[in-house]
Structures are given as C-alpha cells and as structure tokens.
Amino acid sequence: MEESAKPIIQVKNLDLSYGDYPVMRNLNFSVNKGDIFIVMGVSGCGKSTLLKSLIGLQEPSAGEVLYNGINFWAQDEITQQNIMRGFGVLYQGGALWSSFTLGENVALPLQLYSNLSVGQIREVVELKLALVGLSGYGDFYPAQISGGMRKRAALARAIALDPEIIFFDEPSAGLDPISSRMLDDLILQLRDTLGATIVVVSHELASIFAVGDQAVFLDTESKSMITVGSPKELLANSKDSRVIQFLTRGVK
C-alpha cells in the first residue's frame, strides 16, 4: 500500500514447469508488506502453478522465491517448514479435512504449533469462526454446510495462527456474486485487522478491482508476465492490448 513499504515476497527470474512442459519463464516481481497482491491471467496460464511454488508445494525449475530476504527453495526442509508456518492458504475448494468438524479443522494448527490449553484453543477457534461469520458452526462437518460456508471455514483455518501472509487460490470460484463480494470484504478486513500481506490468484475482474493494490498479469502465449501494477492504473495506462483486453473482458 505505502510506497516505502518493504518487500516481504520477492520473486526473481522464476521459471515454472508442469511435468516436462514449461509453464512460465522469467517471472520477476515483489510483494510489499501489507499489500493485497493479485496474480491474474486467463484460465490455464499457470497462476495456480505459481501459487504452488510460492507456498512451498512445487519446486520451481529455476529462479528464486525470497521471503523477508530468505531464499525459500535453497533452505533445508526444517527451515522451509518454519517459513511455511507463517503462511495461511485458502485453497480453491476449501480443502477442509473432511473427517474433522469445522472446529477441529481450525483447532489443528493451534494444537500443533501453539502452547495454548484445550480451553484456550476452543476460545481462539470460536473467535476465528466468528470472524468469518460462522459462529456456532464448530460442530458441523464440512459435508453438512454450503460451498460458500466451506470457503469461509477454510479461511478461518487459514488465519488460525495469525499468518504473516495469506494466499487465496481463486477465492470467488463457484460462489454467487453476493458470497463472492462478502469474501472480498473479508479479505480487506483481514488485511486491516491482522495486518497480513495477502496474495490472491484470481481472474474475477470485480474482485481484482475491489481488493487489489498491486497485480501481476501472466500471459499464456509468451509464457511470461507482461506487467505489474495497480489494477486501476493498468486499466487506465497500460499500452498492452492483452492486459486491456483482459481487464475490459474483451470489450474495448
């Protein structure tokens, strides 16, 4: 948000591949602390692959991802896990553990990485569920609630440990406009209340303009990023026809 803010994530000369197929080449961008950063591009351009290498699930074929100046993929497994502990991830389908209740889903990270007592954990869980508007749903199983609620519950789990960075993989996918808007509001509130840095992978224009401070545009044909900047400024100033076409839904 602020010009003077320090970059918390830096991506340098990153190459990504899916199996043997190159997906993206030469990605370079940085995300400032406290920003909401959007990764945008058409479906299948490699947004989710980029996300996977940012959250430590898929090693890039070349290049570096730096968190607070530390090169993630050059670290040993234990250091990587320590860095990953500072992440919260909201997966596309929620990815709640289906054999756990919502309360147990949110509680697990706390049980693993906090020294809180059982009672205290229960309180934190109730707070996190309340933050996403699911107060009182702690005893429900993921299969018993709607898709939108599942996403919010997954968000409660993602913010269980007050993460430094929260990643969202297509938060509006499969949601109606109202639920999607609610989730956007939640993203803004989380940034303001938790002070977290937020990375959102999305192709929903409404969300991109509503929440994005900065955005990177990935292009399928050139297999690389085209531009970085604020979505509104990109719309107003970008000279690249692909970016303009994307941001105006092809209606020039």
Partner 1 sequence: MIGKIDLDYSLPKTLCVRLKGDWLIASEIPKSNEVIAQITQTKDIGQLTFDTSEVDKWDSAMVAFLFYLIRGCEHKNIKVNFQKLPPGAQKLLILALKVNENASIDKAEDGSFFTRVADKVLKRLDGMLSLVNFLGEIAIAFSRLITGRVYFRWDEFMVILQRCGADALLLVSLISVLVGIILAFIGATQLELFGAQIYIANIVGIGMVRVMGAMMASILMAGRTGASFAAELGLMQTNEEIDALRTLGVSPVEFLVIPRILALVIMMPLLTLYADLMGILGGFIVSTGLLGLNSVEYWQHTQSSITLSNLWVGLIHSFVFGVIIAVAGCFRGMQCKRSAVAVGEATTSAVVSAIISIVIATAIITYVCQVLGV
**Which pair of structure tokens corresponds to residue 195?**
């002070």
Stretch that binds partner 1, among 94-102, 130-138, 175-183, 231-239 (CB under 8 A): 94-102
Any contact of residue 57 with partner 1 (CB under 8 A)? yes
The binder of partner 1 chosen from 46, 103, 109, 148 (CB under 8 A): 109
Q: Which residues, listed in sequence order, are joined to residue 38 by a DSSP beta bridge?
A: 200, 215
Count of residues of this chain found to bind partner 1 when the rule CB under 8 A is applied:
25
Q: Does 222 bind partner 1 (CB under 8 A)?
A: no
Residue number, 31 or 234, with CB nearest to partner 1: 31
Q: What gap in Å lies between CA 52 and CA 243, rounded to an integer?
A: 24
CB of 85 to partner 1, least distance (A): 5
- Specify the stretch interacting with partner 1 by CB under 8 A; choose among 93-101, 133-141, 189-197, 208-216: 93-101
Structure tokens at 44: 């299948």
**Residue 20 touching partner 1 (CB under 8 A):** yes
Q: Which two tokens stand for residue 77?
A: 């497994």
Q: Does 116 bind partner 1 (CB under 8 A)?
A: no
Residue found under tokens 């076409």? 245
Residues 151-210 contacting partner 1, CB under 8 A = 157
Whole-number Å distance between alpha carbons of 158 and 145? 18
Number of H helices, E strands in the chain: 9, 10
Find the part of the chain contacting partner 1 (CB under 8 A) among 52-60, 63-71, 123-131, 189-197.
52-60
Does 76 contact partner 1 by CB under 8 A? no
Question: 48 in helix, strand or coil?
Answer: helix
Please report the sign of the dihedral spanned by the C-alpha atoms of residue 160, residue 68, residue 7, residue 2: positive
Q: Which of 67, 87, 217, 246 binds partner 1 (CB under 8 A)?
A: 87
Which of 85, 122, 232, 242 touches partner 1 by CB under 8 A? 85
Q: Which residue in the set 42, 66, 70, 108 belongs to the binding site for partner 1 (CB under 8 A)?
A: 108
> Closest by alpha carbon to 183, among 145, 213, 153?
153
Rounded CA gap, 174 and 148, in Å? 8
- Asked if 92 touches partner 1 (CB under 8 A), the answer is yes
Phi, psi (deg, nearest 5) at residue 44: 80, 10
Partnered with residue 201 across adjacent β-strands are 39, 169
Rounded to a whole number of angstroms, the minimum distance from the CB of residue 233 to partner 1 is 30
How far apart are CB 236 and partner 1 at their closest, in Å?
30
57 Rama class: left (phi>0) / alpha (psi -120 to 50) / beta: alpha
Q: Out of 98, 135, 146, 189, which residue is the one contacting partner 1 (CB under 8 A)?
A: 98
Our CA angle for 62, 4, 225, nearest 5°, is 30
**Interacting residues with partner 1 (CB under 8 A):** 20-21, 55-57, 81-82, 84-85, 87, 89, 91-93, 95-99, 108-109, 111-113, 157
